Amino acid sequence: MTKYCYKLAMILLMSAGFAVAQGSNMPKQNPSPNNPDAMPVQPSPAQPLPAQPQKDPAASADVQTKIQSALQADPLLSSVSVNVTDSSVTLSGTVATQAAKTSAGDIAKANAGNRKVTNSIKVNAGAGAEATPPKQ
């Protein structure tokens, strides 16, 4: 019988200790006009803060350089301009075909990271006439 009482006492003590430990992780109440004694909520180290978008001009410049270099490698896309901000990539200019416009958009998306890509390139069949071989 004493073994049974000893086990029961240990279980109760462990349960009480667990409950106390769990209660210490509970967030504190926000102060309000109805409860002026409540403490303000402080973020605990175990709870990470929500991610904020990083504003790094160097990263935007790197992305712009990557995209512009990739576009310059293709003669059909060399007239495309790139503007990169912290949240978006905008392509502008004129190309000869819809396929070239799509290709420029694909290059931008591949290098844009989490930025939104806006493809404002115009298609003008006369724009790439010098790159098209003459008909024979």
Task: Note the pLDDT tens digit of each residue in 20-40.
Answer: 766 655 555 555 556 655 555
Structural contact between residues 76 and 128, judged by C-beta atoms closer than 8 angstroms? yes
User: Per-residue pLDDT for 12 more than 70?
Assistant: yes
Q: Give the strand order in the sheet containing 88-95.
A: 81-84, 88-95, 116-123
Map residue 22 onto helix, strand or coil. Answer: helix
pLDDT (0 to 100) of residue 6: 79
Q: How much of the chain exceeds pLDDT 90, in percent? A: 38
pLDDT (0 to 100) of residue 7: 80
Q: What is the pLDDT of residues 40-66, one digit of tens each?
A: 555 555 555 555 455 566 688 889 999
Residue with tokens 């301009």: 81
Q: What is the pLDDT of residues 95-126, one digit of tens each?
A: 999 999 999 999 999 999 899 999 999 998 77
